[in-house]
Amino acid sequence: MTEPAPLHRDALHAPIVLGVSLKLYMDVDTTTRWSHAVSDLARAHPAIVQGRVRLFVLPSLPALPAVRDEFEGTPVGVGAQDLFWEDRGAFTGAVSGADLKTVGCAYAEVGHAERRSLFGDDDEAVRRKVAAALRNGLTPVLCVGETAKSHAAAAAAATGDELASAIAALPPTGSGHELIVAYEPRWAIGQAEPAPAEHVAEVIGELRARLAADGRIRSASVIYGGSAQPGTLSTLAGTADGLFLGRFAHDPGRLALIVDEADALSDPQVTTR
């Protein structure tokens, strides 16, 4: 029996991953204007054009077609903030991963703290949604993170168990799955500052170990979210593969600063714009 291929991520060559969730902060027109500004950034910034920074955007569902059109012809990926675990059936209000793929999505966020607390997504729902994203060719942006502030070792164990639960139902595959895992300590979401770098480092180290031990996963990026902002990437000093951004990226100018920061970290010789 052939051994599964090991998890592959070459830290020297892999791009820094930046994701932006717009949540429900903007209406469709505002989202379209934001996307137009960010698409201009994506077309002009050498880090995005040359692939040193991988950027994806998750708008609200009604804005998806307009956002997709704004980013057409750029390297920026577009995705949804949620999906249902079934593709077809009597599920009023549900959104099919198959349909998301058809309308141009490349990503689907799963398991965000707000989906859990406000909409009742439990571990079983998250597990089924991850599987639905993968079978429809969408890269899951899987959010994990402890609820209450605790010692880093306890947070690492709890978050690692949450990751294991979310990917427990993945089928074996010859080519392997791709995941983006967003570590978002729930107690840091919406705060003025992100979690301490030492805390993040210990938790991400545990997540990497769990992913590397799973032969079904071909490649994975572990990014940090939870009040991530300009300066966070540098503070983490290479611990994370990137950032999952919320309100601090809703100003295109601040997002540009974070792209500059990522570019400088991806290659210290780079002179930013």
Q: Which residues, 6+ apart, have CB-to-CB distance to 159 below 8 Å?
A: 144, 145, 146, 183, 203, 206, 207
Q: Which two tokens stand for residue 70?
A: 């704004």
Please return the burial class of 255, using the count of CB atoms within 10 Å of its CB with bins 0-12, 13-18 and 19+: buried
Q: Which residue carries 């990226």 as its tokens?
A: 249
* Residue 162 to residue 236: CA distance in whole angstroms: 22
* Residue 271 to residue 273: CA distance in whole angstroms: 7
**Catalytic site residue 184?**
yes
**Rounded to the nearest 5 degrees, what angle is found at the Cα of 262, between the Cα atoms of 260 and 266?**
120
Q: Which of 45, 109, 112, 206 is catalytic?
A: 112
Q: Which of 109, 146, 162, 184 is catalytic?
A: 184
Q: Which residue carries 């967003």 as its tokens?
A: 182
Q: Which residue carries 């949604």 as its tokens?
A: 129
Q: Which two tokens stand for residue 107?
A: 């990503």
Note the helical H segments in 138-196.
152-166
- Give yes or no for a contact between 179 and 142, defined as CB atoms under 8 angstroms apart: yes
Q: Which two tokens stand for residue 110?
A: 């799963």
- Residues marked active site are found at 112, 184
